[in-house]
Amino acid sequence: MSMSEIGPYSNYRLTVRLELANKPGIFAQVAALLAEEQANLGAVDLVSATKTRMVRDITFDVQNEEHGEKVLARLNALPDVTVLSASDRIFLLHLGGKIRVESKVPISTRNVLSMVYTPGVGRVSQAIAKDKSKVYTFTSKSNSVAVVSDGSAVLGLGNLGPEAALPVMEGKVMLFKELAGIDAWPICVSTQDPDDIVRIVQGIAPGFGGINLEDISAPRCFEIEQKLKQTLDIPVMHDDQHGTAVVLLAALMNALRVTGKQLDQVRIVVNGLGAAGTACCRILLAAGATHVLGCDKEGIILSGEAEQLRACRTDLRACLTRDNPKGTLRDALKNADVFIGLSVGNVVTGDDLDLMASDRIVFALANPDPEVPPEIGSAHSTIFATGRSDYPNQINNALAFPGIFRGALDAQASEINEAMKLAAAQAIAQVIPEQTLSEDYIIPSVFDKEVVPRVARAVAAAARASGVARRRAKVDDPSLPE
- Residues annotated as catalytic (active site), given as ranges: 117, 172
Q: Which DSSP state fits 337?
A: S
Looking at the DSSP bridge assignments, the partners of residue 291 are 267
Give the separation between CA 338 and CA 162, rounded to whole angstroms. Answer: 37
- Using a CB cutoff of 8 Å and minimum separation of 24, what contacts does 97-104 make? 97/167, 97/170, 98/167, 98/170, 98/171, 98/173, 98/174, 99/170, 99/173, 99/174, 99/177, 99/186
Element containing residue 17 per DSSP (H, E): strand 13-21
Q: Contact at 8 Å (CB) between 314 and 241?
A: no
How far apart (Å, rounded) are the C-alpha atoms in residues 454 and 432? 12
State whether residue 18 is helix, strand or coil: strand
Report the alpha-carbon distance of residue 315 to residue 281 in Å, rounded: 11
Task: Kindly tell me the burial class for residue 433, based on how many C-beta atoms sit within 10 Å of its own C-beta (0-12, 13-18, 19 or more).
Answer: exposed
Between CA 178 and CA 79 the distance in angstroms is 48
Residue 178 φ then ψ, to 5°: -70, -35
Contact 240/215 with Cβ under 8 angstroms?
A: yes
Contacts of 27 (CB under 8 A, 6+ apart): 20, 56
Task: Report phi then psi at 158, rounded to 5.
Answer: 100, -160
For residue 106, the SS3 value is coil
**DSSP category for residue 473:** P
Q: From CA 350, how far away is CA 126, in angstroms rounded? A: 67
Beta strands in 379-442 (DSSP E): 383-386
Q: Is there a contact between 293 and 300 (Cβ–Cβ < 8 Å)?
A: yes
- Ramachandran sector of residue 296 (left: φ over 0; alpha: ψ -120 to 50; beta: rest): beta
**Is the distance from CB of 241 to CB of 221 less than 8 angstroms?**
yes
Rg (CA), the chain: 26
Which 3 state secondary structure label does DSSP give 299? Answer: strand
SS3 content of the chain, % helix, strand, coil (to 5): 45, 20, 35
Is residue 321 a contact partner of residue 301, using CB atoms and an 8 Å limit?
Answer: yes
